[in-house]
Structure 1
Amino acid sequence: MRISARTDYAVRAMAELAAVPGTPLTAEQLSARQDIPVRFLFEVLRDLRLAHLVRSVRGPRGGYVLADAAEKISLASVIRAVDGPLAKVRDLSLSSLQYPGAAAALPDVWRAVRASLRQVLETTTCADLAQGELPDIVRHRAQEYSAQGRRLG
């Protein structure tokens, strides 16, 4: 999985909004807090608004707020809002994907990749991220990654 700048910026902006529930933050404030180019952030916020993940608040104290409780917004839904499916293979459906010969087992690898991504990204919420209290599966996978890096390093 390639994590695009759009995804990175969207998740970081959502974490900032989750850290101050109900308090509107302007795009400029979000940009400054996360060092995100403001022009790019406006595009990301538009996608998040269209996906009903944030809403805009008008007025002198306006800005953006989460459209739902941070505990109900998974990172997977944020990523889908700005970049589409979590994992795709040439825009084909994984459920019916088949390859001949030596690559016949490859669709199961792609399915396992998607399932692993979903396991992490659908169980982690914006609230988890903002509070720094990640689900056990995420902490364990991060520890595995660090341990592998030391072995490969």
Structure 2
Amino acid sequence: MRLEVTRRAELAVQAIAALSPRDARLKAPELGEALDATPGFVAQVVGPLVKAGWVRSTPGPTGGYSLTDSAGRASVLDVIEAIDGPTANGRCVAEDRACGHGRTCALHEAWTRARSTLTTTLAATPAVDVHRRGPTA
């Protein structure tokens, strides 16, 4: 598991939060402004969310992006994995080999507990409840 979240995954979580007012519909430039991203990058971020069934893309002059009913059930972990793929990649965190084959590395037990705590917390956090934070000083 990576100990980082990509910019695309962060923006995807923020996009769901930005669209979370029940009747919100934002065009790509508006969503881009809310996310501090270009409309082209918004399309890359929102595409997997549309595919997952959490965001609806309505074309046309009155269209835009809006949440589907199932978006409320999407956790932060769900969104991260929709963008970046599975967080568990089956690789050892300390050695360049598959995890669990033969002897375990020195970090195996601690890493397993830490990963479980992290993924449990992310899975329990609804993406619609995440709020964009401003720049820190």
Q: Establish whether TM, by shorter chain, passes 0.5.
A: yes
* CA gap 1:131/1:37 in 2 versus in 1, 3 angstroms: closer
Residue 84 of structure 2 corresponds to 83
Could you tell me which amino acid in structure 1 is paired with residue 8 of structure 2? R
Q: Secondary structure of 1:76's partner? A: helix
Is 1:10–1:44's contact at 8 Å kept on the other side of the alignment? Answer: yes
Residue 61 of structure 1 corresponds to 62
Deviation at 1:89, TM superposition (A): 4.6
Q: Secondary structure of 2:65's partner? A: strand
Find out whether 1:6 has 2:8 as its counterpart: yes
Is 2:32–2:39's contact at 8 Å kept on the other side of the alignment? Answer: yes
Residue 41 of structure 1 corresponds to 42
Structure having the larger proportion of residues in helix: 1
Deviation at 1:59, TM superposition (A): 3.1
Deviation at 1:99, TM superposition (A): 5.2
- What is the alpha-carbon distance in structure 2 between the residues aligned to residue 69 and residue 22 of structure 1? 14
Moved more, 113-122 or 1-10: 113-122
- What is the alpha-carbon distance in structure 2 between the residues aligned to residue 47 and residue 71 of structure 1? 16
- What is the alpha-carbon distance in structure 1 between the residues aligned to residue 15 and residue 102 of structure 2? 40
How many residue pairs align between the two structures? 126
Aligned-pair identity (%): 34
Could you tell me which amino acid in structure 1 is paired with residue 5 of structure 2? I
In structure 1, list runs of 5 or more residues that go unmatched.
133-153
* CA gap 1:87/1:2 in 2 versus in 1, 3 angstroms: farther
- What is the alpha-carbon distance in structure 2 between the residues aligned to residue 73 and residue 100 of structure 1? 36
In structure 2, list runs of 5 or more residues that go unmatched.
93-98
> RMSD between aligned alpha carbons?
2.7
The TM-score with structure 2 as length reference comes to 0.76
Structure 1 runs of 4+ with >4 Å offset: none
Question: What does residue range 97-112 of structure 1 map to in structure 2 within 5 Å?
Answer: 97-98=100-101, 100=103, 103=105, 105-112=106-113
- What is the alpha-carbon distance in structure 1 between the residues aligned to residue 89 and residue 110 of structure 2? 12
Superposed CA deviations along residues 45-66 of structure 1, whole A, max 9, x for unmatched, are 1111112121112332211111
Q: Secondary structure of 1:36's partner? A: coil
Ranked by relative contact order (alpha carbons within 8 Å, sequence separation 6 or more), the top structure is 2
Residue 95 of structure 2 corresponds to none
Moved more, 69-78 or 24-33: 69-78
- What is the alpha-carbon distance in structure 2 between the residues aligned to residue 70 and residue 49 of structure 1? 10
